[in-house]
Amino acid sequence: MKLATVRDGTPDGVLHIVSRDLTRSVAATEIVPTLQAALEQWDRVAPLLQRLSDALNEGHVAGAVALGTLNLAAPLPRAWQWLDASAFHSHGDLLEKVFGLAPPPDKHSVPLMYQGAGDELLGANDDVPLPAEEDGMDFEAEVVAFVDRVPMGTSAAQAEGHIRLLTIANDTSLRALAAKDLKTGFGFLQSKAATSFGPVAVTPDELGEAWRDGRVHLPLHVHWNGVEFGRPNCSAMGFSFGELIEHAARTRNLAAGTLIGSGTVSNENFREVGSACIVERRAIELVDEGQSRTGFMKFGDRVRIEMLDAHGQSIFGAIDQAYVQANFQLGHRRAWTTRSILHGTLSKARGNRRGQGGKQP
């Protein structure tokens, strides 16, 4: 089944069931109010949600509405833990080489993982408000697993059973700040802004044969300002999601609703399939041409991230969002709305109503 969260002015929104073809949606309120609550009692509510999903897909649900009319938040608008790995070795190996970084110990046997901020996660069509282009704004397209409660000491094999949902994400990174964060050893902090998530999260069975070995065996399509940037396959993860969860839970419990990210998707043949973030392309240019030609993002730029199934059907819906300058006077949540009103710059590029998060407080 496929799940989404509709904004209603509360921090956690309202849980909806979405049809497999992403056209129709119905509130799950009578079963459970929010996705966080669903993940806290998954075994009990999942069969009820599945029944509603089946009825929706068969066209038997009264009260279903067109998905495109809804204002979607991230499936989890906030998460108690957001743990993001860097699980694609071709990405890490290239960046170490180019930036002269010391390879982390046991880098191909122990996952790299940082703790991100989970308190304010952006929806798929929300603008990304940031303070300055000079910070080196970059997207990072990746896959994310949602777990129910994982006790400390859970093994990789056990961990796969805790993966309840999957989606795609854009882990916005500020490259001019990343090197400094890395050098402290204390991890990415200023260099990681709020992360954005796909419109819809799906149970692993929705991926069929494409979900196996704790990995998603499909390419992730990334477009920057309407031009294809990359389509690396997510199957190249150097660690399975089960292994990432085992690593995360070594000395702590993970609360229900913890998010585990794959890190930016990358394939060894990145020269053919492209990349899922700008810094990787810049590194390839540096190796091949002696200098980086591609600049980082400018305000007004858009990124689109989507995964298609074997029939070309979108699985999670698309992340499609603009990067905008934060307005510190107004508080960033309203900044882009003001820009839209004053300049009309964003409304033109906005493809559907789900992006109109500015109606929210």
- Residues near a second copy (CB under 8 A) are 78, 80-81, 83, 86, 101-102, 104-106, 110, 112-120, 129-131, 135, 151-153, 174, 177, 180-194, 247-248, 250-255, 258, 326, 328, 331-332
Cβ-based nearer residue to a second copy, 22 or 259: 259
For residue 231, which of 198, 273, 197 has the smallest C-alpha distance?
273
What the block records as the tokens of 146 is 């949602």
Task: Compute CA 136 distance to the chain's CA centroid, rounded to the nearest angstrom.
Answer: 19
Shortest spacing between CB 45 and a second copy, in angstroms = 17
Shortest spacing between CB 66 and a second copy, in angstroms = 32
C-alpha to C-alpha distance for 326 and 128, rounded to whole angstroms = 8
CA dist 22 → 19, 56, 63, 100, 146 (Å):
5, 11, 16, 45, 20
Shortest spacing between CB 252 and a second copy, in angstroms = 6
Shortest spacing between CB 127 and a second copy, in angstroms = 13
Cβ-based nearer residue to a second copy, 115 or 352: 115
C-alpha to C-alpha distance for 36 and 12, rounded to whole angstroms = 8
C-alpha to C-alpha distance for 303 and 156, rounded to whole angstroms = 33
For residue 235, which of 271, 201, 203, 211 has the smallest C-alpha distance?
211
User: In sequence order, which residues have a C-beta less than 8 Å from that of residue 112 and are 6 or more positions away?
Assistant: 85, 86, 87, 92, 104, 263
Cβ-based nearer residue to a second copy, 190 or 313: 190
C-alpha to C-alpha distance for 264 and 203, rounded to whole angstroms = 21
Cβ-based nearer residue to a second copy, 235 or 325: 325
Shortest spacing between CB 40 and a second copy, in angstroms = 9
C-alpha to C-alpha distance for 120 and 286, rounded to whole angstroms = 35
Cβ-based nearer residue to a second copy, 90 or 172: 172
C-alpha to C-alpha distance for 28 and 233, rounded to whole angstroms = 33
Shortest spacing between CB 253 and a second copy, in angstroms = 6
Shortest spacing between CB 167 and a second copy, in angstroms = 20
Cβ-based nearer residue to a second copy, 116 or 230: 116
Cβ-based nearer residue to a second copy, 9 or 105: 105
- Sign of the alpha-carbon dihedral angle for 97, 98, 104, 107: negative
Shortest spacing between CB 345 and a second copy, in angstroms = 21
Cβ-based nearer residue to a second copy, 92 or 219: 92
Tell the residue number behind the tokens 């990145």, with chain if given: 270
Pairing of strands 128-130, 163-170: unpaired
